[in-house]
Each structure stands twice: as structure tokens, then as C-alpha cells.
Amino acid sequence: MGIINILDTQTANMIAAGEVVDRPASALKELIENSVDAGATSICIEIKGGGRGFMRITDNGSGFARDDMPKALLRHATSKIKTGSDLDGVMTLGFRGEALAAISSVSRIEIISRRKEDELGTRLTGDENGIVMEDTGCPSGTTVIIRDLFYNLPARHKFLKRDSAEAAAAAAVTERIALSHPEIAFSFTSEGEKKFFTVGDGNLLSAIYSVYGRGLANGLKEINYEIDGVSARGFVTTPDNARGSRSLQIFFVNGRFVRSKTVMAALEEAFRSYLPHGKYPAGIINITLNVKNTDVNVHPAKLEIKFTDERKIFDAVYYAVKNMLTQPEHMPPKESEKQHNHTNPVYIHPSPPKNSEGNVIGYEVFKPDTGEEDLPVINLTTDSTMILKSPLTELTPEEKKAYKDSKPTETVLFAEEKSYRIIGEAYNAYIFAELDDKILVIDKHAAHERVLYEELTDKKQVVAQQLLEGITVTLPREQSDILSANLEYLGQYGFVAEPFGADTLIIRAVPSVLSNTENIESLFEAFAAKLSEGNALSFTERVDRALFTVACKAAMKAGQKNHSVHNEWLVERLLTGGDIRYCPHGRPVIKILSKREIERFFDR
């Protein structure tokens, strides 16, 4: 006698349920999505016991035909597709026909539903004893009640968190669907307490306001861009409102919440020169494109998506965000527009840090607390052979290939070998260099500003250069107080100072990139002034702003003559230092003229 059993449907469904519903929040997600697919304009959600004990989803959508109700509990039963080829253009959130089968196999389910055209509604109850149906009076639409989720899977309970954590996960799922459908009114109640509701007026910002509150909503700016049939719309934080984690990066594709590394990379790449390490933009971004260019059938919970052309998605998001950031009101103020009384320090010699010197002190760079993250940090700078690198380092090989194939070829700027040659400088502002088959035109000030900024903020190690003689600075009381209270912290950035009587500090060391700058005193004063500005910002953000100012002030000035040695140092730094394309203000640093372009111009 053989030993293989064919499992009965109930057991098979229970096994399959593990994939679709692993916790109350994932069951809730499926049920709310069904209401959305049913064309509801209002969806009320109520849960108890974190959703494990009780979940009720009430919608005013199409309702079930009576005959369909028991069918809907069967596996692979769906009204949304008929054949495999329909998968190609699926517009609804559901299509797998699995959710109700899975959920009903691991809970006690009740569905009360009526179509508008039917006089009487139907109540279906399903549990371990089977299915019972009866007529009932009810409003048009559908109510699904789930009780005792996982009652017959005791092992599953071990993996569930406390009720409060499960309730939070259920709220998060509801929030995302509410944001992806601002035209639907949602309300979410847990343990009898109404947690949030949206009005369903179709306005995304008002939905964000309802879900996340004024604090986030006020720090957002609209983005809107379309390229090659792909549009990216939504709201993104301005640099001032960046956050300590990625938890509020929320992406939708054609109204479906997805996790997408491409979208994340595009968002963060656009912010690259605007934010220090450990800060992340937040944003609610809705991407729309022809559904034929997507594949949502790659993940049981449909949380992932494939695009036929990742590059287009990247570009749409990147430019949408970049356009917002480069609008004048979001650009950090230009140095010339700032008010200060002291004269600019004259740039003397941009020397690289010298580690081997006896009087050099090494400091670990300070890393701000990045908080909780649900996605791994993408390291955007692993490949040192490229300057204009693909930010998509965490994509799968296929995704990378799709991206590479569509990528213009001339983006690789530099390889390890020192293969460039400086041709000269024009207007004391632009350095011309030849590299392989390209001519690089480098904006001297912008490039130096960025190199300094990177050195001051971005390095694994900040080197503090001891000054031969301490420099005393007397500051307004407010500024000296802030500095005195944070001396240890600032030391981690290479600024070493000690109190020296009332309102006066003595500077012992500065970051070594600044050590040859003339007039360190005025640079330090500008640093202190910037640190005490912007009460709404965290201290880390203010330090970043202050370093930004320091980089700008210490950088070579356009129109000012420099020794060729300095230009050489700068070009070397720029071309070997990694991914530098924009100055900290977001303006480009390098213009590339290809040999082909030049030859074409001369009709060669």
C-alpha cells in the first residue's frame, strides 16, 4: 500500500493560506482590496484583538450575486480574470482568486451582501461545519466579518505579535490603501476607537493630512512629471523635512501599493546632494503607466512589481523630484544673498588631508541615528570606477540589465588610471580637461564646494588638523552657548574647541581640508552663526547646514585666479573621489563634450 495521500480541499487551502495571509493585516489588505475592486466609494474597517479576534469590512460597492457567494470561497475563484492572457492587462487589485478561499479556511467567516438591483440580500456563514446561506435585509454593498483568525492553526499564533502591534500593522495597511485611493472615504476603528478617516474627496494631500497629520503634510511639496507614457505624481518632503528612516517612502503603481527599489533609488538619487547621510526623503508617489508594461504577478501578496523598462520609471521619478527640488524656493540660499558682516576668507591652498603627519588627529565620523528601517540601506557608491554611476546597485541582474541596455553609453567618466590631462582654465572659472574621448568642463567653484562638502560630511574618517596656535573667537552669547554645549559632538566633525572665558572659545583644530584656508576665524564664525539658526531643525541638520556654508565659503571662487597646482588637486579629487555630479546647491559640476559631438559639429 502506497503512502502518498491526496490532501482534501480544506487542508490544501489551509496550506495555501500561509502564503496569502500570514497575519491579520495581510487578510485585511485582501478584504479591503476586494472592496476597492467592487467599486466602493466608502469603506469602514473595524477590528478587535489586533484583527485576530474580529475584523469587519463594510463597503458600498457592487455586492455579490447570491449564486456567486459560495463560489467566491473556492480556490481560484475570481470574477476579475478569465484566462491567463488577461493577466497581461489586469487593472484590479485582486485577480488570483485566492484570498477568500484562504481566509475562510483559517477563520469563521460571515458575508452579508446585496446588489442594488436585488431586493433581498444574502447572509453566508462559513466555519468548520460548512457553509450556510440565508436571505436577509441589508443595505446594498458588502460586509465581510472575520472571527477567530487562525483558530485552527495554533502554530501560527506563536508568530503573531502582541495585539497592539498587529493592530498597528492593520492600520498601516489601511493607511496605504486609503492614500492610494483618495477618492474613497475610509474609516478605521480599533478596539472601539476611531483611529482615522479620510473624506474621499479625491485630494491626495487631504488624505495624507488625515492619515499622517499636519506635521508631515505641511512639509510636503507636490511633484508631477511625465515622460514616455510614465507619470510620477504625488508629494515629497522638502530637504528641511527629511526624516531619519525610510518608513514614510510610500509608492503606488497604478493605484497598487508596492515596494520598489527602482523608485526608492530614483527618489534618493534626486535628493543626493541635498541630504546628509542618515537622512531620507519621505514621499507618497503614485506612478501610472500602461498596465501592459508591468507584471504584478510576481509575489503572492502582490507587493512587488516588475516593469518592462525600469529605466523609464527611474527617470520619471527622478525628474519629478529633481524638478521640485530645483524650484528656486527649495534651493538653499546663494552665498551672495546671505547677510553677514565679515569678509570672505581668501582661499589659499586646498590641500588634501595628510594622515602621516605627527600633529594630525583622526576622528570617526559621526553617524546620526537612522532610526528604524524596513528596507536595507542601498549603498550607492560601491563602484569606484564610475563617476556617473547607476544608483541601482541593489537591483536583480535582470533589472540591472534592463537598466544598462537603456542607458546612454557616455556616463562612465573615470577609471582608476590617471588618464586625464588638464588643458587649461577659462575665465578663471572653468577648468577644461581631456579624458579618453571626452572634454570635461568643470565649474571650479561648484566642484570645489562639493568636494569640500563631501570631505566635511561624507567621509568614513574626518581628520582634524591641530592648529599651531589656538585661535580665539568671541561670539554672540547665543552662539557661544550652543557651541559650548556641543563641543564633543562638533569634535567628531573635526572642529575641536574649548571654552575660553565668557562668550569666547579657543579653536584647537579644524577639519584638515580647511586647515590651509586663510581666515579660519571668520569661517568658524560663519559656522557658529549657521549652527544657531533654524530652531525648527534638529541639531544634526543644523550642523549639516553649517558645514554646507563652510564648504561654500572655503571653496575657490569663480573669477579668482588660482595656482595650477590647486586646479590639478581639484580635478584629481573630483575624478577619483566618487560620484560627484552636482554641487551642494544641486547645480551641475561637470559638462561633458564628447569627441563625437565635436566631430559631428565639424562634419567629420
Ligand X SMILES: Nc1ncnc2c1ncn2[C@@H]1O[C@H](COP(=O)(O)OP(=O)(O)O)[C@@H](O)[C@H]1O
175 closest CA partner among 25, 20, 376, 374: 25
Interacting span for ligand X (CB under 6 A) from 75-83, 118-126, 535-543, 571-579: 75-83
**Rounded distance, CA 305 to CA 292, Å?**
12
Q: Which of 94, 121, 141, 511 binds Mg ion (CB under 5 A)?
A: 94
State which residue, 35 or 294, has the beta carbon closest to Mg ion: 35
Part of the chain binding ligand X (CB under 6 A), chosen from 94-102, 458-466, 546-554, 586-594: 94-102
Is residue 79 within the footprint of ligand X (CB under 6 A)? yes
- Taking the least distance from each CB to ligand X, the nearer of 40 and 321 is 40
Q: Does 296 contact Mg ion by CB under 5 A?
A: no
Task: Please pick, from the candidates 13, 24, 29, 35, the single residue that binds ligand X as defined by CB under 6 A.
Answer: 35
Q: Which residue has the cell 472615504?
A: 185
Selection from ligand X, Mg ion, none that 62 binds (CB < 5 to 8 A by kind) is ligand X
- Cα–Cα distance measured from residue 328 to residue 589, given in angstroms and rounded to the nearest whole number: 18
Residue 33: CB minimum distance to ligand X, A: 7
Q: Exposed e or buried b for every residue in 562-595, given b needs 16+ CB within 10 A? A: beeebbebbbebbbebbbbbbbbbbbebbeeeee
As measured in angstroms, the least distance from the Cβ of 257 to ligand X is 15
Q: Contact between 30 and ligand X (CB under 6 A)?
A: yes
Shortest Cβ 311–Mg ion spacing (Å):
32
375-378: long-range pairs with CB below 8 Å, 24+: 375/246, 375/249, 375/259, 375/261, 375/264, 378/261, 378/264, 378/265, 378/268
Give the 3-state secondary structure of residue 246.
Answer: coil
Q: Does 34 help bind Mg ion (rule: CB under 5 A)?
A: yes
Q: Does 507 bind ligand X (CB under 6 A)?
A: no
Closest distance of CB 338 from ligand X, Å: 57
Near ligand X by CB under 6 A: residue from 49, 70, 97, 244: 97
SS3 504: strand
Determine the 3-state secondary structure of 375 from DSSP. coil
Smallest gap, in angstroms, from Cβ of residue 95 to ligand X?
5
User: Judged by CB, which is closer to ligand X: 64, or 251?
Assistant: 64
Minimum gap (Å) between residue 155 Cβ and ligand X: 24
Q: Does 101 bind Mg ion (CB under 5 A)?
A: no
Work out whether 38 is an interface residue with ligand X (CB under 6 A).
Answer: yes
Burial of 140 (0-12, 13-18, 19+ CB in 10 A): middle
**Choice from 26, 34, 519, 562 touching ligand X (CB under 6 A):** 34
Contact 570, 444 (CB under 8 A): yes
CB of 184 to ligand X, least distance (A): 13
Our CB check for ligand X shows the closer of 96 and 542 to be 96
Give me the least distance between CB of 300 and Mg ion, in Å please: 12
Phi and psi torsions of 173, nearest 5°: -60, -45
> By CB under 6 A, which span of 29-37, 173-181, 201-209, 262-270 interacts with ligand X?
29-37
- The entry of Mg ion, ligand X, none near residue 61 (CB within 5 to 8 angstroms by kind) is ligand X
The residue within the footprint of ligand X, chosen from 23, 29, 96, 243 (CB under 6 A), is: 96
Q: Using the rule CB under 5 A, is 99 a contact of Mg ion?
A: yes
The C-alpha cell 588634501 sits at 352
**599 CB burial (10 A radius; 0-12, 13-18, 19+):** exposed
| Concatenated DSSP letters of 531-600 | HTS-TTS-HHHHHHHHHHHHHHHHSPPTTS---HHHHHHHHHHHHHSS---B-TTS-B-EEEEEHHHHHH
Looking only at residues 114 through 173 of this chain, which bind ligand X when binding is defined by CB under 6 A? 142
* Least spacing, CB of residue 135 vs Mg ion, in Å: 25
CB environment 361-398: b (16+ within 10 A), e (fewer):
eebebbebeeeeeeeeebebeeeeeebbbbbbebbeee
Cβ-contact 259, 303 below 8 angstroms: yes
Find which of ligand X, Mg ion, none residue 390 binds, CB within 5 to 8 Å per kind.
Answer: none
Which of helix, strand or coil describes residue 513? Answer: helix
Residues of this chain that interact with ligand X (CB under 6 A) are 30, 34-35, 38, 59, 61-64, 72, 77-80, 94-101, 142
Residues of this chain that interact with Mg ion (CB under 5 A) are 34, 94, 99
